[in-house]
Amino acid sequence: MDTSLYIISQEATALDALRQLNDLSGKAMTLFATDDAGRLVGTLTDGDIRRSLIAGAQLSTHVSEIMHRNFAAFRSEVPQIAEIRDIRARRIALVPHLNADGTLRRLYDFSVFHSILPIDAVLMAGGKGERLRPMTLDTPKPLLKIGGKCIIDYNIEALARNGVTNINVTVNYLAEKIEAHFASPVGGVKVKCVKEPCRLGTIGSLTLVDGLTNDTVLLMNSDLLTNINFEDMFLTHIEADADLTAAVIPYMVSVPYAIFHTEGNDVRGLEEKPTYNYYANAGIYMIKRRWLDIIPRGEYYDATDFLDALIERGCRVRQFPINGTWIDIGSPDDFRAAQDLMSHHPLQSP
């Protein structure tokens, strides 16, 4: 976002403000007034100007006389989820994030953003997708298109809408094609590719990723179609003080026969065609960054190995049920089902 479009001096006139607002046609039409030191001191809309003129102001009246001085802004180092939810509830489109001295750090457009999560993200995209051959013979599975868009881009764009800007993709098979794909930003984010020297499993390549700065790291498979609520998952993870939170999906098993309940060879009861409900691993994890140090370097290591290691250490491992869409594009049937879903019900992510 070009924030200069939205900044106006408090010494400018109402006419100056109207002209600047007119240039914002089609965008969020709010101006942020600054003082001589560049500090944000008020906000102004065309409605504010109209009401002030009706009340007797002139087109030559200074912005400082008609602006709102009590405006919504993020003033802490990291915007808090409670603040963000309040902004969404009040339907405020543009919200400035201020530095300690009151100058503008960043401007968030909540017609684009859903949240601002203090997490780093790593997407695993190194697999061969062998079950999807011949489609994956010359195209890596994350770049296969569902509904006209690459599978991985749905996930990148969802993370970008949640304010995640440090996004890494680990690559191996047909790595050069994924690297070329991310030569340009996706969802407004410059995605970094990290190449595995060899296959390192579903979490081993995390040891190759530099520049992780947040306390929470999101790890996920890149070949998923999901509208998981990342904000809710993050809150679940933080409020539980979990070392790892794993997203899970309901999985039902129906047995088409009567089942005996026995003790030894003695039958104690009979259950007709029972149904069992479980939670299955969805391939999405939020992890306390400090635990990444236990992942062995240069070795094949899966996320399930990591979970077992944390549990053995007595760490707090929690689950987060996904309440929505989740499709693992692992087979031709999955691919066709995803295409059918997207043709009738486009994926709507928070």
**Type of residue numbered 234:** F
Asked if residues 42 and 10 have their Cβ atoms less than 8 Å apart, the reply is: yes
Which of 18-27, 58-67, 313-322 has the least mean pLDDT? 18-27
Beta bridge partners of 226: 326
Asked if residues 244 and 288 have their Cβ atoms less than 8 Å apart, the reply is: yes
Q: What is the pLDDT averaged over residues 233-248?
A: 97
Asked if residues 214 and 314 have their Cβ atoms less than 8 Å apart, the reply is: no
Which is more confident, 19 or 134? 19
Which of 19-23, 127-131, 170-174, 313-317 has the least mean pLDDT? 127-131
The pLDDT of residue 148: 86
The pTM (predicted TM-score) of the whole model is 0.87
**Residue positions counted in the chain:** 350
Q: What is the pLDDT averaged over residues 64-88?
A: 93
Domains of the chain, first to last: 3-109 (3.10.580.10), 119-344 (3.90.550.10)
Asked if residues 143 and 152 have their Cβ atoms less than 8 Å apart, the reply is: yes
Does 143 have pLDDT greater than 80?
Answer: yes
The label of the residue with tokens 């709102």 reads 68
Q: What is the pLDDT averaged over residues 236-254?
A: 94
Q: What is the pLDDT averaged over residues 151-171?
A: 95
What pLDDT digit, counting tens, does each position of 3-57 carry? 999 999 999 999 999 999 999 887 888 999 999 999 999 999 999 999 999 999 9
The pLDDT of residue 306: 96
